[in-house]
Amino acid sequence: MKDDDRPEPDTIREKIWEIIFRHDTPASRRFDVILLILITISVVVIMLESIEKYRIQHESTFRIIEWAFTGLFTIEYLVRLWVVRRTHRYAFSFFGIVDLLSILPTYLALIFTGSHYFIVIRILRLLRMFRVLKMVRHVGEANVLLNALMASRSKITVFLFSVLALTSILGTLMYLVEGVIYHNPAFPNIPESIYWGIVTISTTGYGDVTPTSPVGKLITTAIMLMGYGIIAVPTGIVSAELNMQLAAIRMDRRVCSNCKTEGHDPKASHCKMCGDKL
């Protein structure tokens, strides 16, 4: 949260803002730690609930705990909305949306009390898992990684699309060879064959679908060797991008006193924009 979201000084709103939104005072640090612990517990509880044995034994206990946590996080969310100066900016920020999404599922399970719809609603309930993402906020190093990933976003999209197109063609070829010609039941249609192609080219290799014919194995070999060159591409992209990010960080921090330009060569003696002595 930028400092221009700070409320008027010396009010109760400002004090709460300092505790909730800052991370550098003793009080705000204590708040962060407690919040992190509560989030962790609530996530562990929802995971334990999913284990049938525990769910049957302690159904009501789980419900009470879930409502307690949801209540707590709802209050926290409302307080956040109140103390922040520009409410809409927080509400539509990444963490504002995550905060909202992590309390909604419990309430949604309440409204839609239909019988067989129940299962579908539980999908939304379990989205509370998104709370986990809250923790990312507290770590500073994430920015360099995110910047590098953001900068290579379009290249990675092109790459992923190319992989998908290539795998579609190879999957179709394998469907014809294994499924149609050799009657391998593991390749019953093109979508399943494409699923196999992705499992193979990503080097995951479950082994639930494998070729049995010599021709199919030959094509598989070619796909896996291709996979070598392919996995090298995103690594190379992110690697080159990170190199640049890190180089930019270590660049000179001098600011030209005349035109305020930043980002000079560490060896430079004159401003690159106005020619003034640095």
| Chain residues 189-228 in contact with a second copy, contact rule CB under 8 A | 189-192, 194-195, 198-200, 202-208, 210, 214, 217, 220-221, 224-225, 227-228
CA distance linking residue 238 with residue 160, whole number of Å:
14
Which residues, numbered 141-180, are part of the site for a second copy (CB under 8 A)? 141-142, 144-145, 148-149, 154-165, 168-169, 172-173, 175-176, 180
Residues sharing a CB contact under 8 Å with residue 20, sequence separation 6 or more, in sequence order? 28, 31, 76, 79, 80, 83
9 belongs to the binding site for a second copy (CB under 8 A): no
Residue 228 has which token pair? 């070598």
**Binding to a second copy, residues 234-263 (CB under 8 A):** 234-244, 246, 262-263
**Listed residue (169, 178, 177, 237) closest to 201, CA to CA:** 169
Min separation Cβ 14 and a second copy, Å: 31
In the complex with a second copy, which residue's Cβ is closer, 51 or 110? 51
Nearest one of 254, 169, 165 to 219, comparing CA atoms = 169
171 three-state secondary structure: helix
Taking the complex as a whole, how short is the minimal distance between the CB of residue 225 and a second copy, in angstroms? Answer: 5
Q: Which of residues 38-77 bind a second copy (CB under 8 A)?
A: 43, 46-47, 50-52
Residue 194 has which token pair? 């494409």
Q: Which is nearer to a second copy, 74 or 147 (CB)?
A: 147
Distance separating alpha carbons of residues 237 and 232, to the nearest angstrom: 9
Segment 91-130, which members bind a second copy (CB under 8 A)? 119, 122-123, 126-127, 129-130
